[in-house]
């Protein structure tokens, strides 16, 4: 019986190699945690996600996407898990409340409150796509890989979100 390279066990990164990769992606990991985790939980979410990535590094498959995409998925999942736990604990009223608290804490004029408020009202998938594309500044292909959808779906979701925001903005400006 011949042994192919596929049969060989995958070599796991050493701690040093993993730390180098982690340092490389920390800016974007931080941004995703700050964007999607409940207020005040970004640091914990980041730490939990990084440790989970280290613990389960054997599950990372280069053939299925980049390390950055893989760890961002963990950060997103951890953010939603934390938000769900907070809601269960009755500490927050919901996602809208989460976001409005973020804005309330932000210094005035630092970012567009109206726009953020409208984004917070979007359905979850649209909010994710808008957040990852416009705010985290990920390319369409990476957003697609991260959410497990096609690039075409990302583009159409962005278009739907823009249309919805546009309509709501127009409605508010006319009143």
Partner 1 sequence: MDIDDRLREAGQRWRESQGPALPPPSLERSGDVAPRRQWLRVLAPAAAAAAVAGIVFGIASLHDATTGRPAVPAGALASRPPSVSSTLPKPSTSTTAQPSLAATATPSPAAACVGSQLRPSLGGSGSAGGAGHTQILLKNVSGQPCYLARVFPLEGIKAAGTATRLVFPGDSATSYPSPVAPGNVAPGEFGAFWVTTQLNGCPDGARFSSLLIEVSPQQNVRMLWPTSMSTGCLAAESAAGPFPQPVPSIP
Contact positions vs partner 1 (CB under 8 A): 15, 18-19, 22-23, 26-27, 29-31, 33-35, 42-43, 46-48, 50-52, 54-56, 58-59, 74, 77-78, 81, 106-107, 110-112, 115-116, 130, 134-137, 162, 165-166, 169
Task: Identify whether the C-beta of residue 28 lies closer than 8 Å to the C-beta of residue 136.
Answer: yes
In this complex, which beta carbon is closest to partner 1, that of residue 93 or of residue 170?
170
Report, in Å, the least distance between residue 51 CB and partner 1. 5
Report, in Å, the least distance between residue 94 CB and partner 1. 21
In sequence order, the 6+-apart residues with CB closer than 8 A to the CB of 98 are: 38, 39, 83, 92
Report, in Å, the least distance between residue 11 CB and partner 1. 12
14 phi and psi angles, rounded to 5 deg: -75, 170
CA of 101: how far to CAs of 21, 38, 76, 79, 133, in Å? 33, 9, 19, 16, 22
Task: Identify whether the C-beta of residue 133 lies closer than 8 Å to the C-beta of residue 143.
Answer: yes
In this complex, which beta carbon is closest to partner 1, that of residue 81 or of residue 93?
81
């Amino acid at each position: 019986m011949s042994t192919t390279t596929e049969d060989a066990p995958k070599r796991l990164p050493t701690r040093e190699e993993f730390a180098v990769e982690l340092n490389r992606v920390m800016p974007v990991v931080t941004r995703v945690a700050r964007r999607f985790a409940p207020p005040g939980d970004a640091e914990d979410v980041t730490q939990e996600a990084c440790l989970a990535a280290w613990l389960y590094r054997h599950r990372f498959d280069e053939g299925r996407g980049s390390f950055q995409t893989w760890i961002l998925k963990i950060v997103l999942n951890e953010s939603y898990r934390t938000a769900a736990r907070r809601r269960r604990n009755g500490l927050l009223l919901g996602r809208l409340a989460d976001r409005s608290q973020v804005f309330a804490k932000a210094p005035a004029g630092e970012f567009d409150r109206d726009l953020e408020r409208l984004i917070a009202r979007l359905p979850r998938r649209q909010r994710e796509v808008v957040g990852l594309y416009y705010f985290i500044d990920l390319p369409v292909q990476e957003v697609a890989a991260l959410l497990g959808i096609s690039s075409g779906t990302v583009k159409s979701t962005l278009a739907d979100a823009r249309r919805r925001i546009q309509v709501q903005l127009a409605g508010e400006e006319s009143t």
